[in-house]
Amino acid sequence: MTDNKLKVGILGASGYTGADLVRLAASHPNMQLSVLTANSHAGKKYADVYPHLANMNLPDLIKIEDANWADLDVIFCGLPHGTTQKIVASLPKHVKVIDLSADFRLRNTETYNEWYGHQHFAPELQKGAVYGLSEHYRDDIKNANLVACPGCYPTAVLLLLIPLLKAKLLDEKSLIIDAKSGLTGAGRGLKLNTLFAEAGESMSVYGVAGHRHAPEIEQELSVALGSDVQVSFTPHLIPMSRGEFISTYANVAAGVDINDIKNCLRQAYLDEPFVRLQTDGAGIGTQYVRGSNHCLLSAHQDRIDGRVILFSTLDNLVKGSSGQAIQNMNIMFGFEETLGLTQQPMFP
């Protein structure tokens, strides 16, 4: 590493998260993109796949097996689940890894086997993997060699609920999480439910009572509370390219009111650059975070006594994926945490 410049590799650089990693790297003074892999586009120039990034001086896309890892400092893995574990296990030990797939998010390998339908291929690495929710695992991330970035839904849900469960302000048995995501959350591959004629002018539900982000959410909420938590979690696709919106309904604990909820969230993120509780009367929506690494939170008293309605929103490709990954890289290498991530939301 010379002059604080990191030599960076991105595996799966042709996906949406890979493209946003490249886009964000353009404004990061300490990132030098040295290896970009995309097996289905190997041999192409990056601008042939993503013309909007043609002004960047980027290496051509190559196959994973043709990559030279020896000179790299950090690798971002943006591959589908089930393909990352073996690759990470084969990498040189000096290279730090930030994984954007689900392959190292679940601490229990048996839980991974159950939800992802196959055995964990690198259980020895799982023991040292750090869950990469930046605001809540910062100290662990600093010393990590392998960081598992949270899924986009878990990021939005956990930033909202972890402080409240730690403070025991909510009845954990009452949590109902209604989640909505733009179509990029389904990836760039061709799928029937993301075709324009299927998804346009429509909202649809998927993964009912069985979405793979549920055990990830429950895992981290259980850590926060100190006992097992189960949630009712239902995701939906909405007809926009990027963005995520979470509506959560819950009973409060005895003696707790809405002001306790707001004060808890406000204090939890008082000094955080990317997470903010909206003031009373301020709007909250995906349009206020689009293209940024921000997450907005909002808390409201329900008209039913003893219940609250909570909201969170983020850009699923930035704070929900690539932006959080770079935030974790900054923490790992001792950079200013906001470096390369100061883009303000695009509105309208």
- C-alpha–C-alpha distance, residues 137 and 19, integer Å: 26
Instruction: For Cα atoms 55, 57, 59, give the angle at the middle one, nearest 5 degrees.
Output: 130
- The DSSP call for residue 127 is T
Parallel, antiparallel or unpaired: strands 74-77 and 244-251? unpaired
- C-alpha–C-alpha distance, residues 56 and 338, integer Å: 21
Could you give the angle at which helices 258-268 and 152-166 cross, rounded to 10 degrees?
Answer: 110
Candidate list 77, 149, 152, 295, residue with the active-site label? 152
Q: Exposure of 111 by Cβ count < 10 A (0-12 exposed, 13-18 middle, 19+ buried)?
A: middle
Could you give the angle at which helices 213-225 and 109-116 cross, rounded to 10 degrees?
Answer: 150
How is 246-258 classified by DSSP, letter by letter? EEEEEEBPTT--H
Longest dimension (CA), the chain: 63
For residue 264, indicate whether it is catalytic.
Answer: no
Residues annotated as part of the active site:
152
